[in-house]
Structure 1
């Protein structure tokens, strides 16, 4: 499983609406994400509209292609497009970031336990 992180930009005047939309994502969208191979998916939003997403996938291009093929994704992207600074399909505008540190990977590489040792 590979970890991915991306950024995008939500319009600052639409932050509250964006938060509300993501407080109760449509059940068929949740199922489509799950069934398309998106795992451990989270979104983080700053007060200036910076959106940071993190997820895991066995194959990101395949997961994105599988989502694009679903009917619900088209409806969801159309509904979400008004919230983003850049026009177009929001999930095609991700800027993927390079992972430069992961604690558990480095603990394992150093032969150290990932479980806290206590006091």
Structure 2
């Protein structure tokens, strides 16, 4: 099992909508993430900068690389594109975070 973290950017004033959409996450998308080996997925918001910090665990044999090819993933990204920074294909801009400390 590996834990990874990354940062994304929410548009100002979109917190409530972002939270609402994630409370209502599509079952097909949640299943696709789990099937790809993703678990314990959390997202935190820095309200002063609108930065989103995502942390998730993934199995050693994860298939996260294939998620962008799934129609449900593409549909979710299209759905979220109006409230966060994305590239020209509506993929959320992500910046990997480097682990520097872990208290066990």
CA RMSD of aligned residues (A): 1.7
Which secondary structure state, in structure 2, belongs to the residue aligned with residue 45 of structure 1?
strand
The residue aligned with 1:31 is 31
After TM superposition, the score normalised by the length of structure 1 is: 0.76
The residue aligned with 2:56 is 55
Matched, 1:46 2:46: yes
Gaps of 5+ in 1: 105-119
Q: In 1, distance between residues paired with 2:55 and 2:10?
A: 16
Greater fraction of residues in helix: 1
1:90-116 deviations in Å (ceiling 9; x for gaps): 1xx211111111111xxxxxxxxxxxx
Q: In 1, distance between residues paired with 2:35 and 2:51?
A: 27
The residue aligned with 1:81 is 81
Distance 1:80 1:59, change over 3 A: farther
Distance 1:86 1:76, change over 3 A: closer
Q: In 1, distance between residues paired with 2:46 and 2:33?
A: 23
Which secondary structure state, in structure 2, belongs to the residue aligned with residue 43 of structure 1?
strand
Larger Rg: 1
Gaps of 5+ in 2: none
Q: 1:10 offset after TM fit, Å?
A: 0.2
1:3-50 deviations in Å (ceiling 9; x for gaps): 101111100122211111011201001000000111211111222411
The residue aligned with 2:98 is 98
Write out the 4+ residue segments of structure 1 that deviate beyond 4 Å after TM superposition. Answer: none
Aligned residue-pair number: 101
